[in-house]
Amino acid sequence: MSSQAPVVTRFAPSPTGHLHIGGARSALFCWAFAKAQPDGGGGGGGRFMVRIEDTDQARSSEESARGILEDLAWLGIEWDDGPMLEVSRLSEPGSASTSGDRPAVRVIGANARPVGPYFQAQRVPIYARFLNQLVDSGRAYPAFETNEELEAKRKAAVAAKQTYRYDRAAYQQFPTPAARRDRMKQADTHGEPYVIRFHAPSEEIVVRDQVLGDVRIAAGELDDFVIRKADGFPTYHFAVVVDDETMGVTHVMRAQEHLYNTPRHVALQKALGFRTPVYAHMPLIFNPDGSKMSKRDKAKAARKAVKDAMGKDPAITPRSLAMSVGADAKNLADFIAGENDSLDIAATLARHFNIPLPEVEIYDFRNSGYLPEAIVNFIALLGWNPGMKQSDGKDLEKFDLAFLARHFSIERIGRSNAKFDRAKLLSFNGDYLQQLSDDEFTRRFIAWCRDSQPATAAALERQFAANLPALIRMAKPRAKVLRDVLKVIEFALVPDDQLAFDSAAVQKSLRANNDEGLGILKRFAPVLESVEPFTPDALHTAMETFAARELPADPAGKSNLGKLAQPLRVAITGSGVSPPVHDSLACLGRARAIVRLHRCLEAAQAR
Ligand code: GLU
């Protein structure tokens, strides 16, 4: 490969679902490697490309492709080359402070190299050219066996205790390239289905992997695999090899599960006279229990919830459950028996049992209220580390995209499996949230809420208007993910006449000691009506003044504010746990606070 050629890495997702956390990690490493290349100046000399591998027409969808691109953009992993995507500046971090003279949207991929199309399904004529080249040079041939015939051959091999490998019957049947071309033409004219197979080489194949070292495949091990399917689309192996060459890819960095495919790619490159890019296969990502992290984890969690529920209540059966959740009884029974891992059923059951499903895809983490910078930082550590120490001697673990773009190197990618430690990710996210300014925290929460819970966002904006930032800020110290804010401020969203008062809290804070709390609340009610202005500070002062004047001093000199604050908290929020009472009161506003206080007094007296 010419030393002048710019480094080009690529992320090549198949648009068959959401962006998986492992895919995001692959994309991040490819991006970081390209950005870490010198350009004679400040770095960023390489290019990062996204190519959509949609040749499996039955499983691919435009919607998934778009979702994957949006998730990448959300993470801040932007491609130089690839499909164009408009992103709204408003949803970008820090955009609250950006000046108004910038355009409201910008386009990722607007300055792409002209090596597209970036969707494989649109590249079929390019593949056809190279397929013809292989047929003409005798390295590929049409094969007409039906699936049943192939299956019979496979069974016969198994019965004879031999490894099945396609027997090249079709190659022998039409011995010359010209005879094969004629046969293909004839079949094309009559719409007769056939595949094209690669005539695999008989020599040893060596994959020089930058992470794993040399991987050798003995001579004769490769079979004559299919490179064009009966539907006319190339197989993954063929498309990837043609694209990597024609799109100028210099470095292929992907998960180790593809290592098994790489010898096929190297063999095809040789047959086509292509260059072989640098390969680096990255470690797999495992759950802490040693299982591979996958979408199936969601089904496992839902199945466990069903089994727990059935264990507790024998009246719950697959049939009764199917009735209550409105699912097909057979599908549900199969799901419970572990015979299918339907994501739809898992989601339905999770809603029914009110349990969270483990996040696996970027979409899930977004939905739970993780920050992109926390995810990017965390996934960068799945199989890589910068090998640096902080000033306190601990390993440096917290860094951003700009740091990665300066320090990423293939040499520091590990060989062993990476472990996905959810507790660590949550703690990273909590740290990142707490580091945001109050304004940025508020902005991020509102953006998240509009995206993930639009109805709640609308209700919040309608009910609280100018008080909304104060309400959200109040939840900040208690939030590890943005979704936590909802739990903290839930009390304020409930209509005043529907707020339920937790009976244990009422007992403890209002009725105990001969209705001590109840009495204090009654005496405080007129104060609450007249506090002016109704702000956190003024409310706090009013509560302190009242406590100092009205409540018997504690002999140990301990503040007696709690004697007022606790009953007031129950009255305002319905429970004994909430953010500071003066903040909660200010967010509700005077009128609502007073309605709640009187409702609580009535409810407590009626018990
Ligand atoms: N389309 C493949 C996948 O999604 C990409 C493999 C590759 O990077 O070559 O797994």
- Distance (Å) from CA 396 to ligand 1 centroid: 31
Residue 2 pLDDT greater than 50, yes or no: no
The whole-model pTM stands at: 0.90
Sign of CA dihedral 313, 317, 323, 325: positive
Which residue has the CA at smallest separation from atom 6 of ligand 1? Answer: 12
Label residue 207 left, alpha or beta by phi (over 0 means left) and psi (-120 to 50 means alpha): beta
> How many A from CA of 14 to the centre of ligand 1?
7
The pick from 64, 245, 254 for probing ligand 1's pocket by mutation, whose C-beta has the most ligand atoms within 8 angstroms, reads: 254
> pLDDT band at 356, cuts 50/70/90?
confident
Query: With contact defined as beta carbons under 8 Å apart, do 265 and 222 qualify?
Result: no
- Whose CA is closest to 511, among 467, 579, 592, 566? 566
**Pairing between β-strand 418-419 and β-strand 285-286 as defined by DSSP bridges:** parallel
| Helix, strand, coil share (%) of the chain residues, nearest 5 | 55, 10, 35
Strands, sheet with 251-255, edge to edge from the N-terminal-most edge strand: 47-50, 8-11, 251-255, 278-282, 205-209, 213-217
Could you tell which of 8, 14, 52 is best to mutate to test the pocket of ligand 1, judged by most ligand atoms within 8 Å of the CB? 14
Domain 496-606: assigned CATH number? 1.10.10.350
Q: Give the distance (Å) from ligand 1 centre to CA of residue 297.
A: 21
Pocket test for ligand 1, best of 53, 54, 71, 241 (most atoms within 8 A of CB): 53
- Radius of gyration from C-alpha coordinates of the chain: 31
C-beta of residue 597 within 8 angstroms of C-beta of residue 521: yes
Q: Tell me, what's the pLDDT at 97? A: 46
Average pLDDT, the chain: 92
Q: What is the pLDDT of residue 559?
A: 75
Q: How far is the CA of 237 from the centre of ligand 1 (A)?
A: 10
DSSP string for residues in 391-422: TTSSBP----HHHHHHH--GGGB-SSPEE--H
Q: Which CATH architecture has domain 123-282?
A: 3-Layer(aba) Sandwich (3.40)
Pair 100, 47: CB distance under 8 Å: no
- Which residue reads 């049943």 in tokens? 148
**Cα–Cα distances in Å, from 594 out to 508, 550, 563?**
21, 20, 19
Instruction: Count other C-beta atoms under 10 Å from residue 517's C-beta.
Output: 25
Domain boundaries, the chain: 1-111+363-435, 123-282, 296-359, 496-606
217: Cα separation from own chain's centroid? 35
53 alpha carbon – ligand 1 mean position (Å): 7
Phi, psi for 209 (deg, rounded to 5): -95, 135
Q: Which atom from ligand 1 is nearest to the alpha carbon of 255?
A: 8
Closest residue by CA, ligand 1 atom 5: 12
- pLDDT of amino acid 125: 96
**C-alpha 26 – ligand 1 centre gap (Å):** 10
- Specify the ligand 1 atom closest to the Cα of 257: 10
Percent of the chain with pLDDT over 70: 96
Instruction: Return the SS3 of 58.
Output: coil
**2, 91, 205, 234 from 267: Cα distances, Å:** 21, 45, 7, 16
- How many A from CA of 247 to the centre of ligand 1? 15
Which residues approach ligand 1 with their CB closer than 6 A?
Answer: 12-14, 53, 240, 254, 258
Report the b/e string of 52-69 with b at 16+ CB within 10 A: bbbbbeeebeeebbebbb
pLDDT recorded at residue 39:
78
Which residue, judged by its Cα, is nearest atom 7 of ligand 1? 12
In a mutational test of the pocket of ligand 1, which residue from 240, 243, 260 has the highest number of ligand atoms less than 8 Å from its CB?
Answer: 240
Which helix (H) or strand (E) segment holds residue 208: the answer is: strand 205-209
CB neighbour list of residue 68: distance below 8 Å, 6 or more residues apart: 13, 15, 18, 19, 23, 52
pLDDT on residue 100 = 59
pLDDT band at residue 89 under the 50/70/90 scheme: confident
Residue 488: its H or E element: helix 483-493
Confidence category of residue 1, pLDDT binned at 50, 70, 90: very low
CATH of the structural domain 1-111+363-435, one choice from 3.20.20.10, 3.40.50.2300, 3.40.50.620, 2.30.42.10: 3.40.50.620
pLDDT of 581 above 50: yes
pLDDT in tens, 245-296: 999 999 999 999 999 999 999 999 999 999 999 999 999 999 988 888 888 8
What does the DSSP 8-state code read for residue 508?
I
- Report the separation in Å between the CA atom of 164 and the middle of ligand 1, taken as the mean of its atom positions: 26
pLDDT digits (tens, 9 = 90+) for 53-88: 999 989 999 999 999 999 999 999 999 999 999 998
Alpha-carbon distance 122 to 55, whole Å?
A: 9
Residue 99: what pLDDT? Answer: 52
> How far is 57 from 380, CA to CA, in rounded Å?
32
Ligand 1 center to residue 23 CA distance, Å?
A: 9
Same fold: 1-111+363-435 with 296-359: no
pLDDT confidence of residue 413:
96
Torsion on CA atoms 77, 83, 86, 92, rounded to nearest 10: 0
CA atoms within 13 A on the CB side of 267: 27
Do residues 372 and 485 touch, judged by C-beta distance below 8 A?
no
Q: State the pLDDT at residue 93.
A: 61
State residue 414's pLDDT score: 94
pLDDT at 81: 96
Question: What ligand 1 atom has the least distance to the C-alpha of 244?
Answer: 9
Which DSSP string corresponds to 316-339? --HHHHHHHHT--HHHHHHHHTTS
Q: Ligand 1 center to residue 585 CA distance, Å?
A: 54
Helix orientation angle between 62-75 and 21-35, rounded to the nearest 10 degrees: 60
CB-based contact 341:296 (threshold 8 Å): yes
- Give tens-digit pLDDT for 385-424: 999 999 999 999 999 999 999 999 999 999 999 999 999 9
CA torsion sign for 502, 506, 507, 508 is: positive
Q: Is the pLDDT of residue 128 over 50?
A: yes
Find where tokens 């967010």 sit: 587
Do 46 and 7 touch, CB atoms closer than 8 A? Answer: yes
Ligand 1 closest atom vs CA 236: 1
pLDDT at 91 over 90: no
Confidence band, pLDDT 50/70/90 cuts, at residue 122? very high
* Domain 296-359 class, CATH top level: mainly alpha
Strand partners, 384: 413
Ligand 1 centroid – CA 383 distance (Å): 18
Strands of 72-156 (E only): list them. 85-88, 105-108, 140-143
